[in-house]
Structure 1
Amino acid sequence: MLSTLSRKMLMCLTGLFLSFFLLIHFLGNLQLFLPQEQAHLQFNTYSHFLSGNIIIKIVSYVLYASIILHAVDGLIITIKNRKTQGNYQNDRRARASKWYSRNMGILGTILLIFLVIHFQNFWYVYKFGSIPLDSNGNKDLYILVVTVFKEWWYVVIYVLSMIALCYHLIHGIYSATRTLGLFHPKYVKWFHKAAVAYAVIISLGFAIMPVYVFFTAK
């Protein structure tokens, strides 16, 4: 059985890996903002490269494992905290902490549900569905993205999930500095500002993508 410290370290390391993956995924998806014809072919070429690269495949397995470990570990930590602390709302620390730090389990659950929907709509269809080919002979993932992002309900779910992601990242990255021993009272506000800046840029950027495609793609 893992100790509480080991679980926190596992949560920290998987969380940081997922945060790094988000950055790479975000940079790749910026191609959606290119002029539509260019975005169409370039995004498909990029996706084809990723799907056929052995290193990316290995990273993808680490990604899947990290998501599962992060979710399971978070659930266990949340349950243990509830048992040891009793009614957290009556704890003095609750009044000093942010609401999102007290509800990381809820935010994480929202994100996990979103990931299931997201993987089903994109990863599963791309891997196992019947997708037409573009003029370069690559699977037309861009058309799939446009088709999904043209559904207003999915755009709403996506944007709301990115709001949850933002708060999850703010607390998660800030907490990771403490777990790794990087926390220092002299620099605490800078760690917090860095976490907020990263969370807002990533989450806002992702949230804008489906909105942009919904209103501009033909």
Structure 2
Amino acid sequence: MSEIKQTFNSSLGKKLIMALTGLFLCTFIIVHLGGNLFLFKDDQGYGFNVYANFLTHFPPIEVIAYLLYLAIIVHAFYALILTLSNKKSRPVAYASQSKSPASWSSKNMGLLGSILLLFIVIHMGDFWYKYKFTDTVGFKEYRTNVLTNQRTVADFKPVDPTFEHSVTTVNDEEIVRVKDLHAKVATTFSCWWYVLIYVIAMVSLSFHLVHGFQSAFQTLGWTHRKYTPVVKFIGTWFFAVIIPLGFALMPVVYFFQSISK
């Protein structure tokens, strides 16, 4: 036990924790982007609202969500420790700088991580917290004819203050009543300053992942001349381009839709 404790208290151990939590967070953002793609579906918010309800009421997902929050805290905590440790071990800058190639993102991971952490706090406070713990998010009622698949939507005001969601079937009509997070998203993304913050955060995410994803594999020792180029390709094009671009498009599209109305 003491050897394990000593290992994780070492610089390498801290980097291993950073790598493992970082890869876990990479897995999460893939799933999160996949769910958020419902925002692009022209169904009056039905798919996204049902998805949001599922995330917050399905017990296994809720457990994973709390593991995610823990991973974010641990990742940020150890990033701070490693940054301070590096500065303490090298308080004075080298007289001559190393000529070894180092990307801008690798030199500024602390700054990029700080921007992302601030964004996560703002983002969760504006959506997750208000969705879960306040009455600022309204409700929608979706009635779908199971035979024709035709759907109508209307605002819904529950009588019971503890009401959260319901799914019932009356005759040939499925009635789904859920919190309307889609309306909250549309309202928030109509603010230019929030869209700007979101886009800046996604640019930071891009630079953070282009270095962090590859670095995690190196820390774990998962390097091979045959597979490293594949890891680099995935880290660069999938995690640093496609995923941040997919997230950034959501507020941009909703903002331009709001000003065109």
Q: Is the 8 A contact 1:132 1:140 kept in 2?
A: yes
Write the mapping of 1:103-122 to structure 2, written as runs, cut at 5 A. 103-122=108-127
| Runs of at least 5 residues in structure 1 that lack an aligned partner in the other structure | none
Are 1:3 and 2:28 an aligned pair? no
Separation in 1, partners of 2:65, 2:91: 38
Q: Which structure is larger by alpha-carbon Rg, 1 or 2?
A: 2
Tell me how far apart the structure 2 counterparts of residues 110 and 169 of structure 1 sit (CA, whole Å). 13
**How big is each residue's C-alpha offset from its partner over 1:51-78, in whole Å with a ceiling of 9 and x where there is no partner?**
1100001001100100000000000011
Residues 33-52 of structure 1 correspond to what in structure 2 (within 5 A)?
33-35=40-42, 38-52=43-57
Counterpart of 1:133?
A: 139
Q: CA deviation at 1:89?
A: 7.0
Counterpart of 1:138 in 2: which secondary structure?
Answer: strand
Q: Which has the higher contact order (CA 8 A, sep 6+)?
A: 1
Asked if 2 retains the 8 angstrom alpha-carbon contact of 1:88 and 1:94, the reply is: no
Is 2:235 the counterpart of 1:195?
yes
Asked if 1:209 is matched to 2:214, the reply is no
SS in 1 for 2:87: helix
Distance in 1 (CA, whole Å) between partners of 2:40 and 2:111 is 32
Residue 188 of structure 2: aligned partner: 148
Q: Which has the higher helix share?
A: 1
33, 53, 59: which one aligns with 2:58:
53
> 4+ runs of 1 displaced by more than 4 Å?
87-91
The normalised TM-score by structure 2 is: 0.78
Q: Which one-letter code corresponds to 2:14 in the other structure?
A: R
Distance 2:86 2:122 in 1: 29
Asked if 1:157 corresponds to 2:164, the answer is no
- Give the CA deviation at 1:151: 0.7
8 Å contact kept, 1:11–1:73: yes
Contact 1:18 1:63 in 2 (8 A): yes
8 Å contact from structure 1 (residues 82, 88) kept in 2: no
- 1:75: which partner in 2? 80
Separation in 2, partners of 1:58, 1:193: 32
Counterpart of 1:16 in structure 2 is: 23
How far the C-alpha of 1:190 sits from its partner, in A, is 3.4
User: What do residues 116-159 of structure 1 show as CA deviations (whole Å, max 9, x unaligned)?
Assistant: 11011101110112121101320000001111111110000000
- Consecutive unaligned residues of structure 2, counting only runs of 5 or more, are 1-5, 142-175
Q: Secondary structure at the match of 1:134?
A: strand
- The structure in which a higher percent of residues are strand is 2
Q: Equivalents in 1 of 2:211, 2:199: separation in Å?
A: 19
CA distance in 1 between counterparts of 2:85 and 2:139 reads 50
Give the secondary structure class of the aligned counterpart of 2:178: coil
Q: SS at the partner of 1:97? A: coil
CA change 1:81–1:132 in 2 (3 A) is same
Match of 1:100 in 2: 105
> Could you tell me the TM-score, scaled by structure 1's length?
0.93
Corresponding residue number in structure 1 for 2:209: 169
The alignment's C-alpha RMSD in Å is 1.7
